[in-house]
């Protein structure tokens, strides 16, 4: 896997994602030094995240860099099915030997990420890539979870979001390290960019000033500027405090998963159905039986 063998990487991901035999040993053996930073791409549906990632991949691969993309698809809460069709949105790179694309299902996890996103991302970072990009499903303000996984979070917006700028301020605005105003050929883009800038003015929560980059990914415009902004943040924005915060969030997620390991969702459903039939179901008493 470390030597770049894709089949080995794919097998390792399958083992870890499904908690098969050997998963723990693989994770314990991962390196922690000299790994590429994770670029998280989030934003509302229709903002053009996949198109933007397509263009970033082209930019990096033209320079000879190896790029991995983790694309998360939502899982149906009713059928547990997932389309996993992200490769269809990145047709230019599907057969590119410099590009590795892996789709993950959310499997019921909230926040726009897969339950195993932390582990799979660390596996891929150990496989010799120069860039690792993760795209969330596009579920609105619950996407703040990406900020706990990515070293650099891109928030992709479109000019039409200008009317909702105050609502955005109280939610996903806080998670972004770099703002991307995509589809900037549309009316109102410059005004929207100024509005974002005014909201960011004087914000001391980040180590460096957060940038607002104007792109029109469909035409390949602004990608060079975006790549430069990502590089600046990678060099100066990932402070020791920021790194510790990221690890704390990841550790909390992994520990939570282990604590929940013996709670089977299908069995949970059957137990609830039986309780409902008996007429004795009470949500909080039922749940207390799992954590007492």
Q: Does 44 share its domain with 130?
A: yes
**In this structure, are 271 and 254 located in the same domain?**
no
Shared domain for 274 and 208, answered yes or no, is no
- What is the spatial distance between Cα 39 and Cα 131, in angstroms, rounded to a whole number? 8
202 and 273 assigned to the same domain: no
Which pLDDT belongs to residue 210?
87
Flag whether 238 is in a domain: yes
Domain enclosing residue 270, as ranges: 265-292
**Nearest alpha carbon to residue 289 among 268, 265, 261, 266:** 268
Shared domain check, 232 and 106: yes
Alpha-carbon dihedral 230, 234, 237, 241, rounded to 10 degrees: 140
Name the residue among 145, 4, 111, 122 with its Cα closest to residue 70. Answer: 122
| Same domain? 166 vs 225 | yes
User: Which CATH number fits the domain that encloses residue 124?
Assistant: 3.40.50.300
Q: Dump pLDDT digits (tens) for 240-285.
A: 888 888 888 888 888 887 888 788 888 999 999 999 999 888 888 8
Q: What is the pLDDT of residues 151-174, one digit of tens each?
A: 999 999 998 765 555 545 555 667
Give the separation between CA 217 and CA 227, rounded to whole angstroms.
13
Classified as helix, coil or strand, 22 is coil
Q: What is the pLDDT of residues 66-97, one digit of tens each?
A: 999 998 765 443 334 444 444 555 666 777 89
Strands (E) across the chain are located at 38-42, 67-73, 99-105, 131-135, 152-157, 178-181, 211-214
* Shared domain check, 285 and 168: no
Is 110 within the bounds of a domain? Answer: yes
In this structure, the answer to whether residues 180 and 122 fall within a common structural domain is: yes
Is the residue at 196 inside a domain? yes
pLDDT band per the 50, 70, 90 thresholds, residue 141: very low
């Amino acid at each position: 896997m470390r030597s770049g063998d894709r089949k080995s990487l794919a097998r390792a991901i399958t083992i870890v994602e499904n908690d098969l035999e050997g998963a723990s040993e693989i994770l314990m053996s991962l390196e922690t030094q000299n790994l590429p930073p994770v670029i998280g791409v989030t934003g509302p549906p229709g903002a053009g995240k996949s198109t933007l990632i397509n263009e970033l991949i082209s930019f990096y691969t033209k320079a000879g860099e190896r790029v991995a993309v983790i694309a998360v698809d939502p899982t149906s809460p009713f059928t547990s099915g997932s389309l996993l069709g992200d490769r269809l949105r990145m047709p230019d790179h599907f057969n590119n030997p410099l590009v590795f694309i892996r789709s993950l299902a959310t499997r019921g996890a909230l926040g726009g990420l897969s339950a195993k996103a932390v582990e799979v991302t660390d596996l891929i970072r150990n496989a010799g890539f120069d860039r690792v990009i993760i795209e969330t499903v596009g579920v609105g303000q619950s996407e703040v979870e990406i900020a706990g996984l990515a070293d650099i979070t891109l928030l992709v917006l479109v000019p039409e979001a200008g009317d909702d700028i105050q609502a955005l301020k109280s939610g996903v605005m806080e998670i972004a390290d770099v703002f991307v105003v995509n589809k900037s050929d549309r009316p109102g883009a410059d005004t929207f960019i100024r509005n974002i800038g005014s909201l960011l003015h004087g914000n001391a929560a980040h180590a460096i000033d957060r940038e607002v980059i104007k792109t029109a990914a469909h035409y390949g415009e602004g990608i060079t500027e975006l790549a430069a902004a990502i590089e600046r943040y990678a060099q100066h924005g990932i402070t020791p405090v920021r790194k510790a915060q990221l690890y704390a969030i990841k550790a909390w997620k992994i520990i939570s998963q282990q604590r929940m390991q013996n709670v089977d969702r299908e069995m949970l459903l059957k137990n609830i159905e039986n309780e409902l039939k008996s007429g004795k179901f009470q949500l909080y008493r039922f749940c207390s039986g799992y954590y007492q």
